[in-house]
């Protein structure tokens, strides 16, 4: 799995473009800048956008190639992001520290996914928000992006259960048109979620 992502991110072009995810942008624009945690941040499009708004950004991925691209994008945009390369199993964020956390199209095996969710929740200050967009089960068979493994796709109930300790601000399933670089392109089934600690 790691070699797959290293290869994808090693290309000259940005796999998912350089613009922020539209849902992330819509939600982060409405929050007063503070400290932001981005898990599985890839090539840095969301991190760089948030940093331009004044957020102090901590980003994490397990890909060295992703970090190189993200830091290059940050330099182009004249902003700073803190970017760590680490296995999510070993990642331990500071508790009660972040004003927001972003999980944008992060698809993991159930046990690790549950662990990452818990860590993200604990990392938030009271009143902090999680912003999540992920592929829903109906994405299986579509060519517009995401894993073609039903076990790595989610339902509304999965998200509701995993974040049950948070207050739900938004939880919807949507069919939308993705235009995020070569690998997120076309009609897609997604879940969009915002939860408040």
pLDDT (tens digit, 0 to 9) for every residue of the chain, 197 residues total?
678 888 888 888 899 999 999 999 999 999 999 999 999 999 999 999 999 999 999 999 999 999 999 999 999 999 999 999 998 888 899 999 999 999 999 998 878 888 999 999 999 999 999 999 999 999 999 999 999 999 999 999 999 999 999 999 999 999 999 999 888 999 999 999 999 99
Concatenated DSSP letters of 139-157: GTT-SSSS-S-GGGSB-HH
Q: What residue spans of the chain are helical by DSSP H? A: 2-9, 22-28, 45-53, 64-76, 110-123, 156-162
Domains in the chain, CATH or no CATH each: 2-196 (3.40.50.150)
> How high is the pLDDT of residue 12?
85
Q: From CA 129, how far away is CA 196, in angstroms rounded?
A: 5
Q: From CA 37, how far away is CA 155, in angstroms rounded?
A: 24
């Amino acid at each position: 799995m790691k070699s797959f992502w290293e290869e994808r991110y090693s290309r000259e072009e940005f796999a998912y473009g350089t613009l922020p995810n539209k849902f992330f942008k819509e939600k982060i624009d409405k929050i007063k800048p503070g400290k932001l945690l981005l898990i599985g941040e890839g090539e840095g499009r969301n991190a760089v956008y948030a940093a331009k708004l004044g957020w102090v950004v901590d980003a994490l991925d397990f890909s060295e190639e992703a970090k190189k691209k993200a830091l290059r994008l940050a330099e182009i945009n004249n902003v700073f992001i803190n970017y760590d390369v680490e296995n999510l199993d070993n990642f331990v964020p500071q508790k009660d520290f972040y004003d927001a956390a972003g999980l944008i199209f992060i698809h993991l095996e159930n046990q690790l996914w549950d662990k990452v969710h818990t860590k993200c929740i604990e990392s938030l200050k009271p009143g902090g928000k999680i912003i999540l967009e992920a592929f829903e089960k109906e994405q299986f068979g579509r060519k517009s992006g995401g894993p073609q493994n039903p076990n790595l796709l989610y339902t509304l109930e999965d998200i509701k259960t995993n974040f049950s300790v948070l207050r739900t601000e938004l939880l919807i399933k949507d069919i939308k048109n993705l235009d995020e670089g070569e690998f997120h392109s076309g009609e897609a089934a997604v879940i969009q979620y915002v939860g408040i600690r």
